[in-house]
A and B are shown apart, each in its own frame.
Chain A
Amino acid sequence: MKELVVISGKGGTGKTSLVASFAALAKPLVLVDCDVDAADLHLLLEPRVVSREDFLGGSKARIKPGHCTACGKCEELCRFDAIYFDGPGNGRIGKTFRVDRLACEGCGVCVDYCAEEAIEFAPAVAGQWFISSTRCGPMVHAKLGVAAENSGKLVTQIRRAAQQVAEKHRLDLILCDGSPGIGCPVIASLTGASFALFVVEPTFSGLHDFLRIAQLTQRLGVPGGIVVNKADLNPDVAEKIEQAARPHGVGLLGRVPYDPEVTRAQIAGRSVVETSQGAAARAIRQIWLDVHDRLRASQPPAVGGLVQLSTP
């Protein structure tokens, strides 16, 4: 089983559009949307949800106003500025302490040191994840709750589920749509993957961000290749990026020209290879052939080694 992760460092470079195109070319396969924070792949693949499960994030503290004596110990110990003295009164005192759940990082220190045992600490449902069917194969995706934490943990969970789905359906390719950045969800998406495909745009920002994600990927021991999207926007910078990739052992897989057909396909809820024979679609077809060969040559994934890094 091979796991291909499409990643970018910088946001908005075209990861999801490329993933949907690859899905149409490689079907049947298992899809995973690891961008649990702002998942968009479902907009192109129209998944029909087959099963759904709650995702339990970390616990968050909640002060029971009836029990609070306003001693202030919780506020004193909290390192996250999550405790405010503006909770409702309770007959004995006019005001109680209150936890700002958006600021609470779930460390539980206030819970452990409250003399009145006035603080609840139950695991909160932080989102949901789904196994769905699409025209290209099964898809595992998730919706993280508003302002929820633990996105890395959720990514690890849905990648595991995707591996089980792949085994069950005897599918040998998992294609993951990654998230921007280099932090916990990205580390969780890349750890143990077979191959990382970087989608980079030919801008100085794109170059800067690519170098950081390439370093991370190299450190995690995942081989990679680069696709320069909208390459004709600035051919000089495209060239610079390709040169900068080489010392990281990252070869050029191809260039995709700017093509308004990509946005048109998105508006139609399809991938560009399904709707167009234009320049972008032709380039993506060619790139897929190359990626397919490289995947065959790559080592199988060894998920497990660094997964601990992914839990925030």
Chain B
Amino acid sequence: MKIAIASGKGGTGKTTVATNLAHVASQAGATVAYLDCDVEEPNGHIFLQPEIEVERPIEKLVPEVDPARCTHCGRCAEVCRYGAIASLPNQTMVFAELCHSCGGCMLACPADAIRERPRPIGQLRIGRSGAIRFLDGTLNVGEAMSPPAIRAVKSAAQPADLTILDAPPGTSCPVIETIRGCDRVVLVTEPTPFGLYDLTLAVEMVRAMKVSFAVVINRADAGDGRVREYCTRNRIPVLAEIPDDRAVAEAYSRGQIICQAVPAFRSRIAALLEQLKCEGRP
């Protein structure tokens, strides 16, 4: 089963839920893979402290123009929908950050002057944290597009009993890329106006993607009851309500696996895992 842990709003506890779920599930004997798909700001490694076995660059293909063959006809620039290639009277320039690697310019070039070359955009790491298989991607600072890096993390993962994908915040392309192909999405939110509004956006997104989903309310007693009411009204299952606890916040601040530092938290995560297993059955 592949479960994405997502949220509209940032800082609601995605990584806390994801790393602790991975921890509890692997201790129960399942093969578990944890994939950190928040490649702009990956934090899972801080908590899981993996031993890294493989590290390799994440690359995307970008065009390279052979000046000896280029006739400066401008066809490549015409077909590129991203403005990633500019044809000047005696030079063709590629803006690699803007390129989506669609291959359109190469197909269009009548002089066969364009080849693709890999360009590093980030780093992929594969390792282990105890029995958990760990993968994360880190986008290079200055790179604008994270979806290719997220694809690289996902495609490097081996099948497991439980694969947990820690998603970036928001509702746009990086989140869509993470959730694509998942069996289920857990939306982590908090009971505040920001938490509620961003949850409604996230719910619209997962509904558009037709993926089954449920909600976890974190710091459940720190706000008001409107998130709970919204979920009841819209028949959205709330799988867990995790109370606000300074001990949890402090363990988080030190980069600890919360289950190890706060025993009460462990039983909540174990219950959440059971819920997910039941809900996952047809």
Contacts and interface: CB of A to CB of B under 8 A. Distances in A.
A106 interface: yes
Given A58-B81, A107-B81, A310-B144, A40 B194 contact: yes
Given A40-B198, A212-B141, A233-B253, A10 B224 contact: no
B50 to A, nearest CB: 15
Contact of A219 (B98, B142, B145): B142
A187 B41 contact: no
Interface string B160-185: 00000000111111101000100000
Interface string A26-67: 000000000001101001000000000000001100000000
B268 to A, nearest CB: 20
Contacts of A107: 81-82, 100, 102, 104
Given A204-B253, A311-B83, A10 B204 contact: no
Contacts of A204: 43, 46, 253-255
A221 interface: no
Interface stretch (B3-11, B25-33, B125-133, B258-266): B3-11
Interface string A77-116: 1011000000000000000000000110111110011000
Nearest to A80: B102
A212 B144 contact: no
Given A183-B174, A215-B141, A38 B198 contact: yes
Contacts of B98: 308-309, 311-312
B170 A180 contact: yes
Contacts of B279: none
B278 interface: no
B15 interface: yes
Given A112-B104, A144-B172, A311-B83, A183 B253 contact: no
A234 B141 contact: no
Nearest to A102: B176
A208 B81 contact: no
Contacts of A13: 10-11
A181 B41 contact: yes
A12 B12 CA distance: 7
Given A113-B107, A205-B15, A234 B172 contact: no
Interface stretch (A133-141, A159-167, A263-271, A281-289): A263-271
Interface in A234-292: 234, 237, 260, 263, 266-267, 269
Given A38-B9, A179-B170, A102 B43 contact: no
A79 B103 contact: yes
Contacts of A77: 103, 107
Given A40-B194, A79-B101, A187 B144 contact: yes
Interface string A104-133: 011111001100000000000000000000
Interface string B240-277: 00000000011011110000000000000000000000
B20 to A, nearest CB: 14
A71 to B, nearest CB: 16
B230 interface: no
A1 interface: no
Interface in B201-228: 201, 204-205, 208-209, 222-224
B141 A181 contact: no
A12 B141 contact: no
A148 interface: yes
26 contacts: A10-B11, A11-B11, A37-B170, A37-B172, A40-B198, A43-B194, A58-B81, A77-B103, A102-B176, A107-B100, A107-B104, A108-B81, A112-B104, A146-B204, A149-B172, A151-B173, A180-B40, A181-B146, A183-B144, A187-B142, A203-B254, A233-B249, A237-B254, A266-B193, A309-B97, A309-B144
Interface of A: 8-13, 16, 37-38, 40, 43, 58-59, 77, 79-80, 102-103, 105-109, 112-113, 144, 146-149, 151-152, 179-187, 201-205, 208-209, 212, 215-216, 219, 233-234, 237, 260, 263, 266-267, 269, 308-312
Q: Which 8 pairs across A and B sit closest by C-beta, in order of nearness?
A: A11-B10, A12-B11, A107-B102, A181-B40, A204-B255, A234-B253, A203-B253, A37-B170
Given A102-B176, A146-B204, A309-B97, 7 more contacts: A37-B170, A38-B9, A40-B198, A80-B102, A146-B205, A209-B41, A234-B254
Interface of B: 8-12, 15, 40-41, 43, 46, 79, 81-83, 95, 97-98, 100-104, 107-108, 139, 141-146, 168-174, 176, 180, 192-194, 197-198, 201, 204-205, 208-209, 222-224, 249-250, 252-255
